[in-house]
């Protein structure tokens, strides 16, 4: 029996859980339930992430203390998770005595290893609120286009980036006062001193998905400067000055651990709370080679969990992660979740309208062991749930259980042509798919079994057999087979659909508690009255959910401009992916961006990613460009479209011809590539500034 400790990233206590968050918690819950069904000693720990400037500000706006604010949000989070049948062995808070003690222990270890260095950091400061300001807490007029009410780092109208000091009439969004620059001491962890360990940990090929290991090597561990030398890892700023909601650092008064320092330690603190409640030894879980540690996180926080966190654990003598399972983002109908379109759906709103089993199954049908994003197509969502769960799985029970309510199952399992045996044999491959987090494969394998089971019912027509008393024994046998095949599916689906598994156990008087139950038929037991298990998804209910998720009309232009999250905490100079080498303004001016019109577009049959474009830059100037957008665009629909072209790129000879420029686009790749299109009023050949 394996001993396994599992965590999900801690939800930030500054807002509600939404369907995007649920990708991770459902992915984790499914894996944990599978491990428990396999008989492993598996515990799932989580907590609310409660510190930072954002919490301090939100609590003040709500007119409550920070402690009152995070307590209220924690209750809401736990209610939402429970509504989706997500079961934690312990759900804690980073604002706990256990977390403070562990932070102090790890901090002392880092100091003993001489990893800390102190540096002065200059930041904008709000003298009224007495706090340092993140860039997005400063608003003013864009220095580039003159648009009012823009953030301190980025203009949403002209898309230019700048420093907060460049804003015209910049002011704090908290108090309205003009920020002043102030310097304060910060302590940094010197990650470069941990390089040998981090290189070995990333290279071992066990803890990280291949694409994540390659990302860390290319962008951090082996990133090179202009001279070709490997760049040192950047020091990690791990403290914040007063005012800040968090734990004050012993020996560094009026300074606090940064939220990203104490948040992952919250995994350990939650474990400690559970251990204290159950008389367990904490070291058995966090200082033992016999315990596996599995983290489930989103790709946006890869940097923190795969470099900083293992470095902290190694330094303090705790167990390293056995595996960091990293997933992609959620899109809805192929686009980012949107409040205006009603696709930014809160968990509580979903639960008002739809069964959580629908979303659990749909996500499982999409999630793989890769870091790919998943898309929730509303049309596919409705069709998949209705076809697979209602039409294939529940249908087996609903069309047979009522015919044996008085007789129960046959005392001996009838001949089913090998269906149950085939299902039992498939259990190993299904289990391997669950173990690898390849849930989409597991669902395909399970539905393949359902596709073989349903024809048996169709061919034997129990609803016809019941009309002939002489066929009573055959009717019982047919229904015994159908209900056993249903039970087998329910066992395999139990990690995804725990309520359905519970209902199956109640129907057949045999609770589902072990994966091995799928290996043997159930015979001679009573069958209880069938109760509806899953209703079909009604499109009207989905539409009602979307309508409720749309924001109310508002005339407050700054309503969204005042939202704060922990990613923009004051002094936060770290990003999931660092910026490229900086270039001078003169160097940037060498890039000649021009508005161009697509004159022709065609497939390059022998190329996997490329389309061949002919671009007009006006005045009889044309450029041939090979663009890697094949998966995202139909060539015919590109013709006539305005694009932005890098017009002075040196020609490049390729296997398929010469490419004389580049089309500007963004996105992670594949089908999610978005070509930049100027407004139709732009003139062909016009330079883009």
**The token pair that represents 137 in the structure block:** 């807490």
Question: What is the per-residue pLDDT for 129?
Answer: 84
339 is in an annotated binding site: yes
Taking each helix axis from N to C end, the angle separating 53-62 and 66-83, rounded to the nearest 10 degrees, works out to: 100
Mean pLDDT value across the chain: 90
- What torsion, rounded to 10 degrees, do the Cα atoms 429, 435, 441, 447 define? 70
Mean pLDDT of 593-622: 84
Q: Does the structure show a pLDDT above 70 at 687? A: yes
pLDDT higher for 222 or 653? Answer: 222
Q: Does the structure show a pLDDT above 90 at 365? A: yes
Cβ atoms 13, 73 nearer than 8 A: yes
Give the angle 668-639-647 at the CA atoms, nearest 5°. 65
| Chain segment 386-443, per-residue pLDDT in tens | 999 999 999 999 999 999 999 999 999 999 999 999 999 999 999 999 999 999 999 9
Question: What is the per-residue pLDDT for 590?
Answer: 75
Distance CA 346, CA 344 (A): 7
Q: Which of 7, 11, 569, 578 is nearest to 258 (CA)?
A: 569
Write out 9-69 in H/E/C secondary structure: CCCECCCCCEHHHHHHHHHHHHHHHHHHHCCCEEEEEEEEECCCHHHHHHHHHHCCCHHHH
| Chain segment 36-74, per-residue pLDDT in tens | 999 999 999 999 999 998 899 899 989 999 999 999 999
Report residue 673's pLDDT band, with 50, 70 and 90 as the boundaries.
confident
142 is in an annotated binding site: yes
Mean pLDDT of 233-237: 95
Question: 312 — phi, psi (to 5°)?
Answer: -65, -45
Mean pLDDT of 321-343: 94
**Range in 274-283, 330-339, 504-513 the model is least confident about:** 330-339
Distance CA 314, CA 481 (A): 54
pTM score of the predicted model: 0.79
Q: Which domains does the chain have, with CATH numbers?
A: 353-519 (1.10.730.10), 585-675 (2.40.50.140)
| Chain segment 101-141, per-residue pLDDT in tens | 999 999 999 999 999 999 999 989 999 888 888 777 899 99
In this structure, which long-range contacts are made by residues 109-112, counting pairs with CB atoms below 8 Å and at least 24 apart in sequence?
109/315, 109/316, 109/317, 110/189, 110/312, 110/315, 110/316
158 is in an annotated binding site: yes
Is residue 602 classed as helix, strand or coil in its secondary structure?
A: strand
**The token pair that represents 539 in the structure block:** 């499109």
Q: Does the structure show a pLDDT above 50 at 227? A: yes
103 is in an annotated binding site: no
**The token pair that represents 606 in the structure block:** 């022998």
Whether the link from the prior residue into 489 is cis, omega within 30° of 0, is no
Write out 232-260 in H/E/C secondary structure: CCCCEECEEECCCCCCEECCEEEEEECHH
**The token pair that represents 488 in the structure block:** 């087998």
DSSP string, 78-144: HHHHHHTT---SEEEESSSHHHHHHHHHHHHHHHHTT-EEEEEEEEEEETTTTEE--GGGEEEE-TT
């Amino acid at each position: 029996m394996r001993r396994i400790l599992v965590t999900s990233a801690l939800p930030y206590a500054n807002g509600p859980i939404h369907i995007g968050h649920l990708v991770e918690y459902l992915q984790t819950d499914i894996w944990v339930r599978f491990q428990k069904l396999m008989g492993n000693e598996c515990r799932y720990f989580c907590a609310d992430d409660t510190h930072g400037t954002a919490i301090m500000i939100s609590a003040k706006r709500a007119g409550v203390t920070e402690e009152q604010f995070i307590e209220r949000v924690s209750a809401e989070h736990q209610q939402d998770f429970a509504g989706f049948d997500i079961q934690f062995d312990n759900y804690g808070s980073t604002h706990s005595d256990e977390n403070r003690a562990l932070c102090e222990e790890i901090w002392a270890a880092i100091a003993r290893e001489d990893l800390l260095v102190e540096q002065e950091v200059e930041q904008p400061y709000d003298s009224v609120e007495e706090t340092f300001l993140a860039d997005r807490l400063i608003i003013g007029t864009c220095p580039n286009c003159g648009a009012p009410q823009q953030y301190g780092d980025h203009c949403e109208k002209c898309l230019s980036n700048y420093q907060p000091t460049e804003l015209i009439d910049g002011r704090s969004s908290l108090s309205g006062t003009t920020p002043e620059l102030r310097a304060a001491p910060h302590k940094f962890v010197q990650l470069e001193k941990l390089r040998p360990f981090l290189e070995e940990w990333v290279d071992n090929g066990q803890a990280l998905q291949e694409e994540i290991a390659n990302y860390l090597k290319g962008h951090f561990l082996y990133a090179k400067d202009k001279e070709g030398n490997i760049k040192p890892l950047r020091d990690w700023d791990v403290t914040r000055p007063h005012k800040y909601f968090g734990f004050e650092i012993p020996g560094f008064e009026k300074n606090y651990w940064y939220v990203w320092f104490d948040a992952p330690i919250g995994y350990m603190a939650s474990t400690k709370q559970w251990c204290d409640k159950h008389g367990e030894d904490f070291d058995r879980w966090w200082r033992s080679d016999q315990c596996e540690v599995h983290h489930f996180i989103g790709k946006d926080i890869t940097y923190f969990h795969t470099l900083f966190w293992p470095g902290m654990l190694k330094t303090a003598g705790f167990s390293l992660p056995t595996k960091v399972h990293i997933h992609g983002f959620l899109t809805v109908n192929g686009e980012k979740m949107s409040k205006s379109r009603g696709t930014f759906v809160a968990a509580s709103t979903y639960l008002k309208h739809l069964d959580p089993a629908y979303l659990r199954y749909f996500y499982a049908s999409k999630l793989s062991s890769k870091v790919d994003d998943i898309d929730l197509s509303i049309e596919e969502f409705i069709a998949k749930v209705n076809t697979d769960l209602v039409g294939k799985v529940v249908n087996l029970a609903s069309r047979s259980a009522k015919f044996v309510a008085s007789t129960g199952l046959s005392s001996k399992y009838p001949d089913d042509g090998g269906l149950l045996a085939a299902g039992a044999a498939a259990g190993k491959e299904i289990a391997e798919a669950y173990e690898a987090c390849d849930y989409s494969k597991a669902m395909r394998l399970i539905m393949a079994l359902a596709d073989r089971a349903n024809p048996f019912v169709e061919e034997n027509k129990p609803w016809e057999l019941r009309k002939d008393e002489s066929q009573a024994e055959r009717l019982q046998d047919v229904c015994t087979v159908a209900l056993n095949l249903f039970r087998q599916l329910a066992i395999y689906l139990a990690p995804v659909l725990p309520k359905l598994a519970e209902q199956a156990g109640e129907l057949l008087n045999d609770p589902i508690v072990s994966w091995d139950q799928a290996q043997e038929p159930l015979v001679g037991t009573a069958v209880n009255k069938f109760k509806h298990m899953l209703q079909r998804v009604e499109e009207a209910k989905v539409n009602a959910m979307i309508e409720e998720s749309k924001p109310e009309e508002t005339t407050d232009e700054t309503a969204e401009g005042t939202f704060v999250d922990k990613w923009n905490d004051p002094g936060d100079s770290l990003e999931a992916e660092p910026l490229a080498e900086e270039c001078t303004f003169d160097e940037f001016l060498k890039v000649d961006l021009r508005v161009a019109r697509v004159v022709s577009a065609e497939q390059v049959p022998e190329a996997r990613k490329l389309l061949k474009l002919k671009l007009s830059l006006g005045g009889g100037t044309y450029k041939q460009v090979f663009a890697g957008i094949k998966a995202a665009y139909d060539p015919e629909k590109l013709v006539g479209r305005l694009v932005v072209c890098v017009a002075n790129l040196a020609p490049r000879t390729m296997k398929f011809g010469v490419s004389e420029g580049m089309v500007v686009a963004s996105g992670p790749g594949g089908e999610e590539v978005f070509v930049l299109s100027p407004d139709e009023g732009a003139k062909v050949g016009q330079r883009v500034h």
